[in-house]
Each structure stands twice: as structure tokens, then as C-alpha cells.
Amino acid sequence: MPAATNRLDARFAQLRANGKRAFVAYICAGDPSLEATVEIVKALDAAGADVVELGLPFSDPLADGIVNQLAADRAIRGGTTTVKVIAMIKEIRKHSQVPLVLFTYLNPVYTYGYERFHQDAAAAGADGILVLDLPADEAAQNAELKPTPELAHIRLIAPTTPHDRVAKIAAVAEGFIYYVSREGVTGAQTSIATGIAEMVAQIKSTTDVPVCVGFGISNPEQAATVASMADGVVVGSAIVKLIEKHGQSAALASEVAAFVKPLVDAVKAL
């Protein structure tokens, strides 16, 4: 299990003690550059984000919608690599202690070396990892892919996940559970998905691990509605789209902060 000092556990414990929900922000590491990513993370922290998910650029991000796919492509074409992302985390830690989760696919981690990746990322200052295409039971059946104690392993649960499987996934979840509120790929939506409250209640009946809801949340009203049903809200594509729009601007980080602050405020107002 992750160490008791894991920033994720500490942050969610603090939020729970204060009766508050978490705001989780997703960005793609290296978009538009690694240097800009450091500044964006600092801006997200200052705006009140409780957790930052750093997407590890990958050439075949099949769970991502077009906005996040293009961000990964921009980062890769800009020279971002796994090694450079880990080095960037060290730089972030000089300025911020916001909990960091690496949002990735198995291929980059496996290529780097599964155990070594966990050790190096944790040593750099990462707190958790979410491997989108590594089911919990698959990891349990392969000794080389079993979770290691250096990083909290965030697990995904979807609307189509059967009840008995929800319990199995929740039993091995660490940090928080990411409830994917709709089928399909990532991307901002004009309305929130249905059935969130019921599914979150089902998940929470099986575990004390916090449940954060993502996929499709893009404005303060949606964020507040979803936060009222869960322990936290994840916003990604809407932020990434803003980064694409202002990527070449010297005011990029401040633009991100200005966009995120009303979302954070909506979540914290509950």
C-alpha cells in the first residue's frame, strides 16, 4: 500500500474532515511544452485544484476524445518523452505540493520498465497512477504488473461495470476511484450523464475510498451538480481545449487559472 504520507491520501482526508469535495484537473504533460506544463500546474494549484492528473503522451490514446488525442500528439511532436515528464515532475515539486497522478496507458509504462517507472515517478514526486488499459484483475494475474507501493493505483469504474465487479475493483483501489460517468471517450458535453448519483452510491456502499466523477464536465453548473453526488469532480477536456487555444500566449497559465477558478469555486461552495 502507498505510504501514509501520500499526498493524495492526505488531501482527501483533509477534504473529508472539512466536508468538502475535490476538484481534479487533467492536463497533458508537454502540451504546449514541458516548461509551460510546470507553469500550468502552479496555476492550477493556486486556483484551488486539489489534484492534478498529468496525461503521459502516448501515440494511441484510444480512451481519449479528439481534444486529448491532439494534445498528446502536440506533446509528442514537441519532444516530450516519459523520461522528460518524470524530470518535469521534479521541477514541479520545487514550486508545488499539489497531489499529482499520472494518467497513462500501459505501453509507455511497460516500455520504461513497470517497476522502475513506479520507483522513478514516485522519487520525482508523483503520488498516483491511473493506467487506463490495465484492468485490476489482469494486473493480479501477472506478477510483473502487480501494483507496487510507490504510487497509489487509481481504478476506473464505468456505468456498465457489473455490481459484483464494482466491489472487486473497489477492494483494490487506492487514492480515489475514478467513475467514468458515460460510455465512450473523453470530451466536454452539453449535459451531464444520467444515473451518476445511483452509481456513486453503489460504489460507496463497497468502499471508503473517495469517488471522483469525470468525463464530460465543462462548466461550473455541471461541476456543482456532479460534486453534490460524489467526493470530487474531474475536469479535463475543457481545460485541454483552453490550453490548445492559448498555447502560444504568454498569458497561458493565467488563462487556465481564470477558467478553472469558477469551477473550483462551484465545487467548494457545496
Give catalytic residue positions: 53, 64
Q: How far apart are CA 70 and CA 249, in angstroms?
A: 18
Residue tagged 475493483 (cell numbers): 169
Burial 55-65 (b: 16+ CB within 10 A, else e): bbbbeebebbb
Is the peptide bond preceding residue 32 cis, with omega within 30 degrees of 0? yes
Cα angle for residues 121, 124, 126 (degrees, 5° grid): 55
Dihedral pair phi/psi, residue 181, rounded to 5° = -75, -10
- The answer to whether 178 touches 234, Cβ cutoff 8 Å, is yes
Q: Comparing C-alpha atoms, which of 202, 157, 206, 159 is closest to residue 178? A: 157
Question: E strand or H helix at 190, and its extent?
Answer: none
Q: Which three cell numbers stand for residue 256?
A: 487556465
